[in-house]
Amino acid sequence: MAKIVDREEMAQGTIILNEIEAPRISQKAKPGQFVILQADETGERIPLTMADTNPDKGTITIIYMVVGKSTARFRDLKVGDEYYALIGPLGKPTHIENVGKVVCVGGGTGIAVLHPIARALKQAGNDVTTILGSRSYDLLIMEEKMRAASNTLHLCTDDGSKGHHGFVTDVLKDVLEKEDINLVVAIGPIPMMKFCSLITKERNVKTFVSLNPIMVDGTGMCGCCRVSVGNDTKFACVDGPEFDGHKVDFDELAKRLASYTENEKSSMAAYEKCKIQ
Distance CA 83, CA 81 (A): 7
What pTM does this model have?
0.92
User: Mean pLDDT, to the nearest integer, of 36-63?
Assistant: 94
Residues 125 and 155 reside in one and the same domain: yes
Cβ neighbours for 56, distance < 8 A, ≥ 6 positions apart: none
Residues 32 and 121 reside in one and the same domain: no
Q: Is residue 265 part of a domain?
A: no
Q: Phi and psi dihedrals of 139, rounded to 5?
A: -105, 0
Domain coverage including residue 21: 2-90
Residues 199 and 132 reside in one and the same domain: yes
Q: Is residue 67 part of a domain?
A: yes
Confidence at residue 210, expressed as pLDDT on a 0 to 100 scale = 96
Q: Please state the three-class secondary structure of the chain as a single string.
A: CEEEEEEEEECCCCEEEEEEECHHHHHHCCCCCEEEEECCCCCCCEEEEEEEEECCCCEEEEEEECCCHHHHHHHCCCCCCEECEEEEEECCCCCCCCCCEEEEEEECCHHHHHHHHHHHHHHCCCEEEEEEEECCHHHCCCHHHHHHCCCEEEEEECCCCCCEECCHHHHHHHHHHHCCCCEEEEECCHHHHHHHHHHHHHCCCCEEEECCCCCCCCCCCCCCCEEEECCEEEEHHHHCCEEECCCECHHHHHHHHCCCHHHHHHHHHHHHHHHHC
Residues 155 and 246 reside in one and the same domain: yes
Q: Is residue 262 part of a domain?
A: no
User: Mean pLDDT, to the nearest integer, of 137-166?
Assistant: 95
Residues 172 and 147 reside in one and the same domain: yes
Q: Is residue 114 part of a domain?
A: yes
Residues 63 and 172 reside in one and the same domain: no
CB 233 within 8 A of CB 247: no
Residue finishing a domain among 90, 110, 141: 90
Give how far Cα 57 sits from Cα of 26, 79, 118, Å: 9, 16, 22
Confidence at residue 277, expressed as pLDDT on a 0 to 100 scale = 56
CATH value at residue 48: 2.40.30.10
Give how far Cα 97 sits from Cα of 52, 121, 182, Å: 19, 7, 12
Residues 243 and 121 reside in one and the same domain: yes
CATH value at residue 234: 3.40.50.80
Residues 57 and 136 reside in one and the same domain: no
Distance CA 197, CA 204 (A): 10
pLDDT band at 269 (very low <50, low <70, confident <90, very high): confident
Q: Is residue 128 part of a domain?
A: yes
User: Mean pLDDT, to the nearest integer, of 79-108?
Assistant: 96
Confidence at residue 1, expressed as pLDDT on a 0 to 100 scale = 82
pLDDT in tens, 12-41: 888 999 999 999 999 999 999 999 999 999
pLDDT band at 69 (very low <50, low <70, confident <90, very high): confident
Confidence at residue 257, expressed as pLDDT on a 0 to 100 scale = 85
The sign of the torsion formed by the CA atoms of 83, 212, 8, 270 equals: negative
Residues 163 and 45 reside in one and the same domain: no
Residues 230 and 191 reside in one and the same domain: yes
Give the 3-state secondary structure of residue 194. Answer: helix
Q: Is residue 163 part of a domain?
A: yes
Q: Is residue 275 part of a domain?
A: no
User: Mean pLDDT, to the nearest integer, of 234-255?
Assistant: 95
Residues 31 and 80 reside in one and the same domain: yes
Q: Please provide the average confidence, as pLDDT, over all residues in the chain.
A: 93
Answer yes or no: is pLDDT of 273 > 80.
Answer: no
Residues 110 and 244 reside in one and the same domain: yes
Answer yes or no: is pLDDT of 276 > 70.
Answer: no
Task: Domain count for the chain, please give it.
Answer: 2
